[in-house]
Amino acid sequence: MNSVSVRALLVRGMLAGLAAGVLSWLVSYFLGESKVDAAIAFEEAHEAAAAGGAHEHAEELVSRTMQATAGLGTAVGLFSIALGGIAALVFCFVLGRIGRFGVRATAALTAGGAFVAVSLVPFLKYPANPPAVGDPDTVGKRTTLYVLMIVLSLLLSAGAVILGRRLAPRLGNWNASVVAGAVFVVAIGLAFAFLPAVNEVPADFPATLIWQFRMVSLAIQATMWTAFGLVFGVLAERVLTPAPAGTPAARSAAVPS
């Protein structure tokens, strides 16, 4: 694949990431913000009870409305654009190396693998928590553990792909994929066992609320990667698949500039 194609796919990956970010923001706004507000209300009620009912609201530098709309949208958008660009580069590397899949199928597999490695596996070990959950003094430790889990998941995913490719000539594609997947699951299980657990949920925090918040967090990630895989597959196919002769696109490409 030449540098022009890689550059074109990178741009389209970022555009697909932007589209995925918009959909993720909609899911976050309509499904997640009510859970955040409920968690904040729980935290404020506890602070008021601890202060004997005389809790004073600190002046907000940024209002909740701004946080939930422009602030959240900007953060999700930038995050999705960055991930879209990285995923596009991964797509360029794996295209044709993981089997005889078409462009759209490879894009879908790339997005699915990214969801598992970057979102699902770290979530299973260190799930997202709403406000009022977690000790502020341990935020650095919790962030480090979460990033470490992402790195381990990515490395083990890459190792599983390499193992599957090396076993394929002897076992066949299906059996090699099953063996590589089983090795990946075992390795992730060992990582889960040896990495320290984090459980800082207050005893009286509503279990339903934290469950709903975590499910929405996972739904946001699933929406982002699903949308990216679908949109990027279409955009990448237009770059890599020549238009049939006689079509308007082919005729315009044939006209010298």
Whole-number Å distance between alpha carbons of 62 and 60: 5
Contact predicate 229/13, CB 8 Å: no
Tell me the pLDDT tens digit for each residue of 215-244.
Answer: 999 999 999 999 999 999 999 999 888 656
pLDDT at position 251: 43
pLDDT at position 257: 33
Residue 198, pLDDT > 70, answer: yes
Confidence of residue 188 (pLDDT cuts 50, 70, 90): very high
Q: Compare 150 and 57 and report the one with higher pLDDT.
A: 150
Tell me the pLDDT tens digit for each residue of 23-58.
Answer: 999 999 899 888 888 888 877 777 676 666 555 555
Residue 19, pLDDT > 90, answer: yes
SS3 sequence of the chain: CCHHHHHHHHHHHHHHHHHHHHHHHHHHHHHHHHHHHHHHHHHHHHHHHHCCCCCCCCCCCCCHHHHHHHHHHHHHHHHHHHHHHHHHHHHHHHCCCCCCCCHHHHHHHHHHHHHHHHHHHHHHHCCCCCCCCCCHHHHHHHHHHHHHHHHHHHHHHHHHHHHHHHHHHHHCHHHHHHHHHHHHHHHHHHHHHHCCCCCCCCCCCCHHHHHHHHHHHHHHHHHHHHHHHHHHHHHHHHHHCCCCCCCHHHHHHHCCC
| Greatest C-alpha distance within the chain | 79
Tell me the pLDDT tens digit for each residue of 63-80.
Answer: 777 777 788 888 888 999
Residue 105, pLDDT > 90, answer: yes
Calculate mean pLDDT across residues 144-157.
94
Contact predicate 122/191, CB 8 Å: no
Whole-number Å distance between alpha carbons of 87 and 75: 18
pLDDT at position 254: 40
* Percent of the chain predicted with pLDDT > 90: 49
pLDDT at position 212: 92
Q: Compare 133 and 126 and report the one with higher pLDDT.
A: 126
